[in-house]
Amino acid sequence: GAGVSQSPRYKVAKRGQDVALRCDPISGHVSLFWYQQALGQGPEFLTYFQNEAQLDKSGLPSDRFFAERPEGSVSTLKIQRTQQEDSAVYLCASNLWAGNTEAFFGQGTRLTVV
């Protein structure tokens, strides 16, 4: 597709359940970012990949959060043992190259933990 694609669009998880969120970046984009956006707030940085290498994971809120991009294209954000405070929209963005500031965002996955 022409843009960043995220799936699922909506996810309801019971507290304690594991979830996996998928991001398909724009083809050929080197950089991939995950952000978390709480209701009524701006997005907050979670982690960054350059190709398959995870260069920065300083924004991951706990060790229950794990991200991977094994072949340098599709990325998965996994949250283990979900808690209510994990409820948010998870946004994926990609850039053409590492130093480029123009990020293209997906529509996001809205996660609700009940």
Partner 1 sequence: TQLLEQSPQFLSIQEGENLTVYCNSSSVFSSLQWYRQEPGEGPVLLVTVVTGGEVKKLKRLTFQFGDARKDSSLHITAAQPGDTGLYLCAGSHSGSARQLTFGSGTQLTVLP
Task: Tell me whether residue 54 or residue 80 sits nearer to partner 1 (CB atom).
Answer: 54
Report in angstroms the alpha-carbon separations of 103 from 15, 47, 111: 32, 14, 22
* Separation of alpha carbons 10 and 33, rounded Å: 19
**CB 95 within 8 Å of CB 29:** yes
Residue 38 or 81 with smaller CB distance to partner 1 = 38
Query: Shortest approach of partner 1 to residue 54 CB, angstroms?
Result: 11
16 or 44, CB closer to partner 1? 44
Closest approach, Cβ 18 to partner 1, in A, equals 24
CA dist 22 and 6 (Å) reads 6
In the complex, minimum distance from the CB of residue 48 to partner 1, in angstroms, rounded to a whole number: 5
> Under the rule (CB under 8 A), what is the footprint of partner 1?
4, 31, 33, 35, 40-45, 48, 50, 55-56, 91, 93, 95, 98-108
Going by the DSSP 8-state scheme, the letter that residue 58 receives in this structure is T
- Backbone φ, ψ for residue 84 (5° rounding): -60, -35
Q: How far is the CB of 64 from partner 1 (least distance, A)?
A: 20
